[in-house]
């Protein structure tokens, strides 16, 4: 499954505990699923909008260019 993926009905963010609208982005890492806002605040989103691990400055693709 790619990261992020589209939310299903009744998907709940583990960060803010709010429901994520169906079709909105859900981010998965280390057993957690987060809405876009929480994923961004946790450092999971690269400046290009792709997933990155929180301990890296960029995603793999951006770091290779």
Predicted TM-score (pTM) of this structure? 0.88
Q: Which helix (H) or strand (E) holds 6?
A: strand 5-6
The 3-class secondary structure across 10-63, one letter per residue, is CEECCCCCCEECCCCEEEEECCEEEEHHHHHHCCCECCCCCECCCCCCCCHHHH
Output the six-digit token pair for 27.
């981010």
- Indicate the SS3 state at residue 65: coil
Q: Give strand pairing partners of 29.
A: 32
Q: What is the pLDDT of residues 27-47, one digit of tens each?
A: 999 999 999 999 999 999 999
Confidence of residue 1 (pLDDT cuts 50, 70, 90): low
Q: Is the pLDDT of residue 2 over 90?
A: no
């Amino acid at each position: 499954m790619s990261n992020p993926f589209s939310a299903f009905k009744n998907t709940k963010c583990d960060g803010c505990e709010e429901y994520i609208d169906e079709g909105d982005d859900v981010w998965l890492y280390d057993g957690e699923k987060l809405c876009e806002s929480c994923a961004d605040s946790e450092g999971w989103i690269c400046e290009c909008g792709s997933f990155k691990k929180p301990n890296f400055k960029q995603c793999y693709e951006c770091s290779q260019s």
